[in-house]
Structure formats: C-alpha cells, structure tokens
Amino acid sequence: MTVLAIRDLTIRIAGRPLLEGAGLMVDPGRKIGLVGRNGAGKSTLLRAITGELQPDGGEIRLAARARMTHVAQEAPGGSRSLLETVLAADTERADLLAALENEADGARLAEIHERLIAIRADSAPSRAAIVLSGLGFDAAAQARAVGEFSGGWRMRVALAQALFLEPDLLLLDEPTNHLDLEATIWLEGWLARFPGAAIVVSHDRGLLQRCVDSIAHLDRQTITLYPGGFDNFVRIRTERAAQLAAQAEKVAAQRAHMQSFVDRFRAKATKARQAQSRLKALEKLPAIETVVEDAPTRFAFPEPSELSPPILGLEGVAIGYDGRPVLRGLNLRLDQEDRVALLGANGNGKSTLAKLLAGRLAPIAGEVRRDRRLKVGYFAQHQSEELDLAGTPLSHMQAALGMQASETQCRAQLARFGLDAERATTRIGALSGGEKARLLLALCTREAPHLLILDEPTNHLDIDARDALVKALAGFGGAVVLITHDPDMVTLAADRLWLVADGGVAPFEGDLDDYRAHLAEQARAARQGGAAEPAATRRDERRERAENRQALAPLRQRVTRIEAEMAKLQKEAALLEKKLGDPATYARFRAEDIAWATQRQGAIAKQVAAMEEEWLELQEKLEAA
C-alpha cells in the first residue's frame, strides 16, 4: 500500500511552471529527502501535499485513514504551557477526553475508553515531555506559557507537535534551522527510529545521509528519485555529469591519478579520530563543483598575515550581562592554526563567548590578551536584521571598506562569495536568506582576519554553498571558532572541541562520536535520576586523543596548505595543457613563449610530485606520533 501517490503533477506560480507532469510514490515507512536549487519549488510541493495550495493539474492522493502532519508555518503562541500545547495537537485525544466527561451512555463510554487505549492516551503526557526534552526544553520550561518564548524556540514547539503525533506521513521543511547541535543530534536519532513515512526538505547533508533512504531531486520541473542517502545521490549525479562531459576520458584519467594518491594516503593516515573523521568526510564531498545548483558555488577567504602564538588568550575571565556572569573561570588560548567548534545546548553561553572573542563584549573579571595586530571577522545570523533593506551589497561593502576602496575592490570581495555583478546591485530587501548570509561572510572577511568567528553560518545556505564554505575554511590561513547545529560542519571544519556547559568552558576530550555518546549517557542518567559521570577509562582515552590532536595541529595545518597549493598548481597545469593542445596557440605566440609554457608545465609536474611526497611524509609523521 502507498501512503502518498503524486501523479502527473503540474504547479504554476504567476504563470511560471515549477512542476510539469511530476510524480512521486511514498511507501509506508519510507523516508525521502527532497532537494533542489533555491526556488525550484520544494516548499511549494509540500504546501500542495497538505492541501494549502491547489495544483494546476495532476493528482495528489493520501491513503485512506492515513494521518499526515507537518511543521506549522506559523509558530504557536498563547498562554497555554508548552506541554499543553503539544498535547492539544492530538485533536482526537482532546475530543475523546472531552466526550468522556459528558457521556452518560455506558456503551458509548466503553467505545471511548477502547479508543483512548488504542491511541495510547494515558502515555501521551510522558511522550510529549520526552519530545520537548529532546528539543531542549527542561521540565521547568515545559510548564511555561508558549508566548514567553522567542520565535525560534516557538518553532521548536511546532516541531514538537508534529513529532508527538507520530503520523503515517510526516512533512518537515528545514527542521534543523532553529535547532542547536544537541537538538539536531537528538532529531536525527528520533527520525532514524520513526516508523512512519517522511518527506524532509533540508540543506543539512548529514541529516540527508543518516536519516533518509531515498533522495527526491526536484529539477527542471520534474522529480527524480535516487535510492540511498545523500552520498549515493552525489555519486550518481557526479558519474552522470562525467559521462556527459566532452572530455570524459581526461576526467577519468585525472580521477584515476587522484584515486592512486588517495589510496597511498589511506594506507598511511593518522589514527587520531577527529582528524581521521574530518579527512574521511572531506573525501565524500562531490567530485564535481555542484550537485544541486545549476552553477558552481565557490567561496574564498582573503589570506591573513602570520602572527606569533598565541593570538588571543583568556586568564580567569568571567563574562555576562549587567554584571551577572554567564561564564566564569575561563582560561583559554587560540593560535592561528586552531579550528575550534563550540559544543553545548542553546542558552549555555556559546554566543556570549563568541562576542567576547570578537571584542563585542567586555569581560566582567579577568584578563583578555590579544595580539595588537589581531584582526577578527565575526559572523552572526542576527546581523542580517541590521542590514539596510534599501541598500545593496555593493553599497554595504563600500561603506565597510571606506572611501579608500575602489568599486572594483568592493565587487571583487563580493565575488569571493558568489555575489556577481547583478546581485551586487540588487536591493537587500530582494535578496534571499542565503544571499544575505553570503553578504555577511563577505563583510566579516573584508580585512583578511586572523581569527574568524562563525555563529550559525549555514542556517540559510543551501547544500552546495555549505560545501563551498567547508572548502574555503580548509584553505583558510587563520584561526576559526565555529558555532553550528550542523554535525557534518563540525566534523569537516574543526580539529578541537570546546564544551560550554555548567557556567564554564573546557576542551572536550574526544570527537563528535564521543560527544554523541556523552549526550546519550546524560539522557540515560537523567531518566534514571542519577548524574552522568563517564567511566575513568573512557575519560582517559578521550583526554589522550585530545592531547594528540593538539600536538599534531601544526602538521595537519601544513597538510591543508599543501593540498591548497597542489590544487592551484593543477589548475595552472590544466590551463597550460589546454593552450598547448590548441593549434591556434602555435600561430599566435612566439617560439620562446611556447618553450616557456612547456618548461613551466614540466616544472609544475615536478612541484606537484614533490608536494605529494612531502604530503605522504607528513602523514607518516602523524601516524608515528
């Protein structure tokens, strides 16, 4: 039996076709990730499935007696408590309980009791509490009125309502946008266990890999279904793109060369878990430039000058607001090669720490030592609200760089983040959330910062833009402090983890898998009413791995630099090969120019070979260490 059947679907918006003759079948228990470029019609398709939008043609049929729910478009409000709001989402239970109070007929009462047992009405409060707890609401918060919370937290309540109902078909549109890392990890686990069918619109690569069994690609007004998770979708799309390329043989030869290089690396790779996880994850990035968007997405950070370590240090620092500390006893340091991700639930003080590091918040106590030449780039999602909607990216960049910067320089900085000539002069009010995020990245890196602080940089970026950000961070020569709800971003971009919890900040001795286990231990202890205290052996192992990662950071940084330099040289070699392979070159250029190009081609080959050897030697040192 099929839960949802879409046949020959046509949807037009303002005369523009989004879907033409599209089809999709959703079987019971099947979880489908819906992807496509921005504006392709993903959210519109969900609205059509729920009946909010009438299609122009075709059929959308939900199975008889199947229950469907989706995250509300508007965040709930009002004076009811969070727990009451989630329970009220089950209208059948509420109606049955109301009928129970007024029903006098014995036979009807028996029917009501039977139905209440069937829908597990007695366990509903505990199930609702578990869902709310997983999304970050403790027992005290669950008793508070929904209206007391901000919009982002109320959207979590909307998500809790949908999850609590456990429908036959669940529709989720960007479910992780309002979640922190801890809630995202919990949601992934919940979806993996969810017995019903689901259609998930998401830009979160990890969620699409770990929680769905098919990918539906909405492209060119139709829907194509790919088996497996997102990695398999990327592989199939990459292979098809290579098959369609005019130089398929050349692509295959280059891939074979790279595969042999990877094979040699794999045999000698370091066993430090976080570094190993990062390298393995980087291997999974698409071999082609784009898998969802029509045009390649590239980001590039300006290269900072080198500073002596440490570039920033905290000694006995306390920070907070209005004289009330949020975090105390901070003793931390940052070096230019550091890549740090901040862990900890929302409200623990991650953004407060980011503001201190960025110089936006003064300490209440203690000392902050900064290199006098230190430049900091600070990205925070709320900054998009401060943009002048009547202005343009170009006008914002001109104001930020000052009169000394030319229009060409301003446009070049915007182009580093995909804001081309047309978008540079588009009104801010007409830009998408992703385009505003690109502008903020361009603004915060305009002065080639030594320290880049990114507070939820991926909330409005699509999959290809997230991949471009990871690649740009891999080649960035400065330090990075990252706050993100995206587990894959943590794995790809961070070598060190700091846990912000219990009013303090401390290095987390382990990788993200260890942190998942740590959260699971805490949840088990909370259910059992005890304290979550990891075993001494496990704690010692995590500490040893963390110390190992820190000691190996300079070697890993050099590996990253070599990879970036090899990529530049290989790009130059490809251009030379193309020119030397063009007969017109020999008619247009002098013999000595052609000879120089040939010599340069040979020199590049030698440089790349030497770099490959150094790369392998570094990997041997990492393993030996």
State whether 116 and 19 are in the same domain: no
- The reply to whether 25 and 140 lie within a common domain is no
Q: What is the pLDDT of residue 394?
A: 93
Are residue 332 and residue 479 in the same domain, yes or no? yes
Quick count: other Cβ atoms within 10 Å of Cβ 121?
A: 20
Average pLDDT over residues 353-363: 94
Percent of the chain whose predicted confidence (pLDDT) is above 70: 85
Is 526 inside any structural domain?
A: no
Residue 365: per-residue pLDDT: 94
The 10s digit of each residue's pLDDT in 320-350 is 998 899 999 999 999 998 999 999 887 889 9
Nearest to 83 by CA among 135, 134, 149, 146: 146
- Structure-derived torsion over alpha carbons of residues 156, 159, 164, 170, reported in degrees to the nearest 10: -170
Distance CA 441, CA 425 (A): 17
540: in domain: no
Is 521 a domain residue? no
Average pLDDT score over residue span 453-477 = 86
Does the pLDDT value for residue 536 go beyond 90? no
Q: Is residue 536 in a domain?
A: no
Banded pLDDT at 589 (limits 50, 70, 90):
confident
The pairing of beta strand 451-455 with beta strand 376-380: parallel
Is 544 domain-assigned? no
| Same domain membership, residue 484 and residue 607 | no
Q: 548-572: per-residue pLDDT in tens?
A: 666 777 777 787 778 778 878 888 8
Same domain, 358 and 471: yes
Instruction: Verify that 116 and 222 share a domain, yes or no.
Output: no
Same domain, 500 and 367: yes
Dihedral sign from CA coordinates of 526, 495, 472, 373: positive
Q: How far apart are CA 106 and CA 87, in angstroms?
A: 27
What one-character DSSP code corresponds to residue 1? -
- Nearest alpha-carbon partner for 3 in 91, 48, 92, 65: 65
| Residue 259 CA: distances (Å) to CA of 6, 230, 251, 280, 613 | 41, 21, 12, 14, 15
Q: What are phi and psi of 194, to 5 degrees?
A: -60, 125
48 found inside a domain: yes
How does pLDDT run across 13-42, given as a tens digit for each residue?
877 788 999 999 999 999 999 998 777 888
Number of domains in the chain: 5
For the chain, the average pLDDT equals 83
CATH number at residue 478: 3.40.50.300
Average pLDDT over residues 109-138: 87
What six digits make up the tokens of 181? 């890392």
* 137 and 109 belong to one structural domain: yes
Max mean pLDDT range (150-164, 236-250, 380-394, 395-409): 395-409
- The reported pTM is 0.65
Strand 222-227: give its sheet, edge to edge: 68-70, 169-173, 197-201, 31-35, 214-219, 222-227
Please say whether the beta carbons of 309 and 479 come within 8 A. no
pLDDT of 469 > 70? The answer is: yes
Q: Where are the alpha helices (DSSP H) in 90-176?
A: 91-102, 106-118, 124-134, 139-142, 151-165
Rounded CA separation 5/61 (Å): 5
**Structure-model confidence comparison of residues 357 and 467, the more confident one:** 357
Domain membership of residue 417 (yes or no) is yes
Do the domain assignments include residue 73?
no
CB burial of residue 344 (10 Å; 0-12, 13-18, 19+): buried
pLDDT per residue as tens digits for the range 46-76? 999 999 889 999 999 999 888 898 875 556 7
- For residues 178 and 225, membership in a common domain is answered with yes
Predicted confidence at residue 271, as pLDDT, reads 38
- Whether 474 and 325 map to the same domain: the answer is yes
- Residue-range definition of the domain harbouring residue 486: 308-375+449-508
Collapsed DSSP state (helix, strand, coil) of residue 381: helix
Q: Are residues 420 and 560 in the same domain?
A: no
In terms of Cβ atoms closer than 10 Å to its own Cβ (0-12, 13-18, 19+), residue 219 is middle
The reply to whether 502 and 365 lie within a common domain is: yes
